[in-house]
Structure 1
Amino acid sequence: MLYNLQQNLQVTQNQDEEDRELLMRLAPLYQQDREQAIQEGEQRGLETGIQQGERLVVENLLKVRFGEIDNELQAIIEPLLALSPEEFTPLLLQLSREELINWFC
């Protein structure tokens, strides 16, 4: 998923310093979440661990971008997770809070 984030940032023509900074802040969170997901995956099955890891990454990205996960953002997590990482990553990086909420409502 981190690779996808990096690739999306490289491809995006509107790449700016804020996106790069965000990626640098997310990289350690992603690694930590990934390790936790792997550990949980060993206990509950790899697929469940990967899904939990993706959830943690989405939640952390929302927290980093918007400060907290309120009820409106909480409501879009499941629909986001129904998408592939290749689909939800650009949405999370490029859309504003309002655009994200409107996208899924």
Structure 2
Amino acid sequence: MKYPKVVSRYCRTCKKHEKHKVSEVKARGRSATHPLSWGSAKRRGAKRGIGSHGKYSKPAISKFKMTGAKTSKKTNLKFTCEVCKKSSIQRKGFRTKKLVFE
């Protein structure tokens, strides 16, 4: 999807509409964002794929039909005001396979 490099948006600090430079926030790995929660997430994932702990016969998650069905990610855009240089992140992302700024 094509998206403009500069958009006019409301700036909360300037309290009026100003031109904003658009950039995409880089995706950081889970270990980089929360380094101390890595072990618990790993344990949770291990439990999730094992089955149902002997209660019922249930296959692993990788065998479920809808596993990994989505083919696109949601956008994560950052808008930087050209006057005061304050940044704000978009509230709701939209699904797109490829984002091109022009």
TMscore range, shorter length: under 0.3
Point out the structure with the larger strand share: 2
TM-score normalised over the length of structure 2: 0.27
Point out the structure with the larger helix share: 1
> Which is higher, the Rg of structure 1 or of structure 2?
2
TM-score normalised over the length of structure 1: 0.27
